[in-house]
Structure 1
Amino acid sequence: MKIFIREAMVSDSEILTQISFAAKRHWNYPDQYFDSWKEELTITPAYIKNNRVYVAEANERIVGYFSLVEIKNDFWAGKVFVSKGFWLEHIFILPEHIGKSIGTKLVAVLKLKCSEININKVKIFSDPNAKGFYDKLGACYLGESPSSIEGRTVSLYELDI
């Protein structure tokens, strides 16, 4: 399967939102989690316009994407501390394409795009189910952080570019 990676267009927002929810649902999270994640997983045309978003296509169909965002100032989101810098905010693959190296290819493009604009580190809040992926990529595990879901944590990583 040949994968083509391109910059997202604002018209991709609906399919990217569908991929976000499908990828999260793959891990059988309770329905109430999705109420908390609704805003976070919804990709709007403005989000695409204001951030660096790239999609992976297979057979002319979008099967995954990533987004890189710049946080200009430290802030607290509830109990979650978000430091300024560049963040891999989203990387989602349709469940039927997980394990086919699409995520690895997306991260290779992320690294290329970051190096082009002199970004040397990217921070990541990782879903617990994605820890192995980031470990395999050689990202540095920094510890656990509270999640937006009460009583749950996410892993904090830093990826050298």
Structure 2
Amino acid sequence: MMTAILRQAQQNDADALTRLAKKGKAHWPYPTHWLAAWDEALTLRPEQIAANYFVLERQVDVGSEIIAFTGLETFEGRWYIEHCWVDPAYHGGGHGKRLVQHALMVATSMGLKVVWVESDPNAQAFYEKLGAVLDHWADRPVCGEARQLPVLRFQL
């Protein structure tokens, strides 16, 4: 079993996190024009990851490689788990679970009672397995095509 080191994300990780987010999204069989439409949303900015983003990295011969990351962000008074991505080569290794549990621990230490996730439909079962409950569906059309996303909540 590979050991991955959990650490706070740094602003200079933005490019690596962006590459990983785009690789993770492209793993699913989405149309190419949808992936292009999501390009900006999958681009992480240094100032965005400065506070509550966390990475898992593994040691390689010449340094380290980020294999997964997630973050906590606030929108309109609610805190969300954002950008929970695991390199597809490492799916099933418990890395996503470790990151989400860490983010929820941080949220608890911040005094939060609820954390939300607007999930990709492919990840809904993952979050539910970790204790999230489906709250509602959000309309999120892509390129003029209908799409709904499950919005789940973790009660802390």
TM-score by shorter chain over 0.5: yes
User: Per-residue deviation at 1:148?
Assistant: 4.3
**C-alpha distance in structure 2 between counterparts of 1:5 and 1:103, whole Å:** 11
2:107 paired residue number:
114
Q: Is 1:99 paired with 2:92?
A: yes
**Contact 1:36-1:148 within 8 A present in 2 as well:** no
User: Per-residue deviation at 1:142?
Assistant: 1.1
Q: Which amino acid aligns with 2:148?
A: T
Q: How many aligned residue pairs are there?
A: 149
2:67 paired residue number:
63
Identity %, equivalent residues: 28
Structure with bigger helix share is 1
1:153 paired residue number:
148
Unaligned runs of 5+ in 1: 74-83
User: Per-residue deviation at 1:3?
Assistant: 1.8
**C-alpha distance in structure 1 between counterparts of 2:82 and 2:139, whole Å:** 16
Against the structure 1 CA distance between its residues 11 and 148, is the aligned structure 2 distance closer, same or farther, given a 3 Å change threshold? farther
Q: Please, what TM-score do these two structures have when normalized by structure 1? A: 0.88
Q: Please, what TM-score do these two structures have when normalized by structure 2? A: 0.90
**C-alpha distance in structure 2 between counterparts of 1:132 and 1:108, whole Å:** 15
Runs of 4+ in 1 over 2 A off after TM superposition: none
| More displaced 10-residue stretch of structure 1: 142-151 or 128-137 | 142-151
The 3-state SS of whatever aligns with 1:45 is: coil
